[in-house]
Structure 1
């Protein structure tokens, strides 16, 4: 006799999400929460795995600071995401430990964007001329959240599983494999699993190579960072150096680690930290934030970069999955994708967010849900 859970699940439409980065996990959770879909994530790499260059989300800073460029309504999606993260970071939330609410200061060595999207942030104000650092044209300050990404990714995963979602480890060469074989192809799946009613593609940089997608507009923007154990740093600080978006940034995490960066190099696939880049990052970061040195040293003498070195706990680099023309968030109908089924199958693409995956994650998930409901004629449950 089938279990009540199996009976309930069978009444729902099967949805497969490819990818378990922050975009894939958030999207899968949002779909599962609706109640009309049974969602399974298929991914080769999972949040609890050792760090790898193939999984960018583990390398992120990350904090929520609105992007100056408004491509494809990105500001709206960023605003939706910030509202969710601000609520999740509130005292008493089950996700509180994933976030740190911080005062953030931005120094701009370039012209101020107009309009300034950051004016929507809590406690926003422009800096006075005497508050600027040498060379900065303008500056601003506001409150935001930083995200402790290893903890947050596992939070999303466990929350998804608690809602009844499934996760399967597997490598996919072509989307037609999944459209024809479903979750039954992977360990933990079954030949009796229903075929998916739709497929959601959240594979990041792999969208360039995945068969059936092979989006050559996807390219990496390599970022390198240094991780410093500095529990006394409880503020964020960034300087925007040029029109290409190169920045120096200080991002504290609730765990007492501080991410300092960074670099922004298009089409650079090198998978490991470069020592000369690490030194450049540290030099810039210390000039921007001498408070990286321990307070007991700063209380007795002028600190130097050598005072920071013993507190370095790691280095890293990630390949931000950017896309020429902006991220892809749309439905594609696949005709005759399977010999086992007839008709068209909707494939929803949600990738190419570059360095903005975290701060657009909930907004893009909301859009995927809207697109999927329209494609399948599903009404949102109350």
Structure 2
């Protein structure tokens, strides 16, 4: 790259390295004309911590947008991207597992997922566990540690950069740029835009402090059950009841879960783990090793030796849904610069990541074009 090309690049800083921050940063970096730096306190290859929700997620692509047309469009775009990424022999195939999925709904709702591959509505005779409706389709699950590392490595290979730093207020980034956290002094080149993807951190980040953001605690159990090659969920949205079986390509299975608003307890509760094992066994007796099931009905005690890990994460929920908009703030050079917000995904960060990144990029480009016209 020539010096002239480098000087023409727009300097963009993204706050946050969860699945939304990484995807948004990657989307912008891969669009010509941008030099993107991610500033974050925690990155995917760090040890698991309650401060970094993305590593705790299941995750599978099952949209909960239902009749919300805007959210459904975001989720559908994300599914299309992930379906392509998960293609056999593709560069990210190892991050995904294409599986048959069955969803049971205790509240009888229509999930509006007839666009999913192989979609079928379940007959009343095939419903279980008191469900009033249900469907089957093909989807994909995501090995979250592998996928986050894939996003990060792809971002770096495209010329993006990362800086570890704990941003207390947006003004620190606006005035000092990423070098403030890298070298302890301001960048020579001022930033042209700031992208705010701090997840739950949006609640306390100075200059944002969005009190509509709150945690929804989700506890999960990771077990080793390589014979499980399908997904199964039963839920009741209004009551916050969710039981799910999410297998990964590597033979691990995430089982769960819970949805507890404003619960900040940072480690797994033993009684909740017992409840998860009980509910998941009822939903999916196949979790018990085949050799045991061949001799007798399985029990939760048969599942405990399979446990690899118990943990929980704080889903970054927001009243009103995802925040995708722009504010203008005073830049270090004296002119106004755009600050693009992309946070508040709750439990849908993975399934809406690419669609919301597209909107964030569009907001960024329109804002920069507006700034250039003044």
- The alignment covers a number of residue pairs equal to 370
Distance 1:244 1:134, change over 3 A: closer
How far 1:68 sits from its partner (Å)?
3.9
Residue 6 of structure 2 is matched in structure 1 by: 9
Distance 1:188 1:7 in 2: 25
Assess if the C-alpha contact under 8 Å between 1:228 and 1:314 holds in 2: yes
Assess if the C-alpha contact under 8 Å between 1:168 and 1:189 holds in 2: no
Residue 216 of structure 1 is matched in structure 2 by: 211
Spell out the pairing of 1:96-115 with structure 2 (5 A cutoff).
96-113=93-110
Distance 2:104 2:242 in 1: 10
Structure 2: runs of 5+ lacking an equivalent:
none
CA deviation vs aligned residue, 1:28-66 (integer Å, no higher than 9, x gap):
000000011100000000100011111000110100001
Assess if the C-alpha contact under 8 Å between 1:183 and 1:189 holds in 2: no
Residue 343 of structure 2 is matched in structure 1 by: 351
1:362 partnered with 2:354 = yes
Distance 1:145 1:74 in 2: 19
Distance 1:6 1:64, change over 3 A: farther
How far 1:187 sits from its partner (Å)?
1.9
Distance 2:325 2:122 in 1: 39
Assess if the C-alpha contact under 8 Å between 2:180 and 2:187 holds in 1: no
Assess if the C-alpha contact under 8 Å between 1:168 and 1:188 holds in 2: no
Distance 1:5 1:18, change over 3 A: farther
Residue 247 of structure 1 is matched in structure 2 by: 242
1:197 partnered with 2:189 = no
Secondary structure, counterpart of 1:142 in structure 2 = strand
Residue 148 of structure 2 is matched in structure 1 by: 153
Assess if the C-alpha contact under 8 Å between 2:213 and 2:316 holds in 1: yes
Residue 296 of structure 2 is matched in structure 1 by: 301
Aligned residue among 21, 35, 38 for 2:35: 38
Aligned residue among 46, 53, 56 for 2:53: 56
Assess if the C-alpha contact under 8 Å between 1:106 and 1:140 holds in 2: yes
CA deviation vs aligned residue, 1:294-339 (integer Å, no higher than 9, x gap):
11211222222211111101001000000011110111111xx35x
How far 1:219 sits from its partner (Å)?
0.3
CA deviation vs aligned residue, 1:104-162 (integer Å, no higher than 9, x gap):
0011110223xx42111000001122211141111110000100000000000000000
1:23 partnered with 2:15 = no
Aligned residue among 214, 234, 251 for 2:229: 234
Residue 131 of structure 1 is matched in structure 2 by: 126
Residue 176 of structure 2 is matched in structure 1 by: 181
Distance 1:188 1:230 in 2: 46
Assess if the C-alpha contact under 8 Å between 2:200 and 2:344 holds in 1: yes
Assess if the C-alpha contact under 8 Å between 1:229 and 1:311 holds in 2: yes
Residue 84 of structure 1 is matched in structure 2 by: 81
User: TM-score, normalization: structure 1?
Assistant: 0.94
Residue 275 of structure 1 is matched in structure 2 by: 270
Distance 2:294 2:145 in 1: 33
User: TM-score, normalization: structure 2?
Assistant: 0.96
Assess if the C-alpha contact under 8 Å between 1:248 and 1:284 holds in 2: yes
Distance 1:286 1:155, change over 3 A: same
Assess if the C-alpha contact under 8 Å between 1:72 and 1:326 holds in 2: no
Structure 1: runs of 5+ lacking an equivalent:
none
Assess if the C-alpha contact under 8 Å between 1:328 and 1:350 holds in 2: yes
Superposition RMSD in Å: 1.6
How far 1:86 sits from its partner (Å)?
0.4
Assess if the C-alpha contact under 8 Å between 1:202 and 1:351 holds in 2: yes
Residue 333 of structure 2 is matched in structure 1 by: 341
Secondary structure, counterpart of 1:368 in structure 2 = helix
Distance 1:192 1:268, change over 3 A: closer
Distance 1:286 1:324, change over 3 A: same
Distance 1:91 1:72 in 2: 31
Secondary structure, counterpart of 1:110 in structure 2 = coil
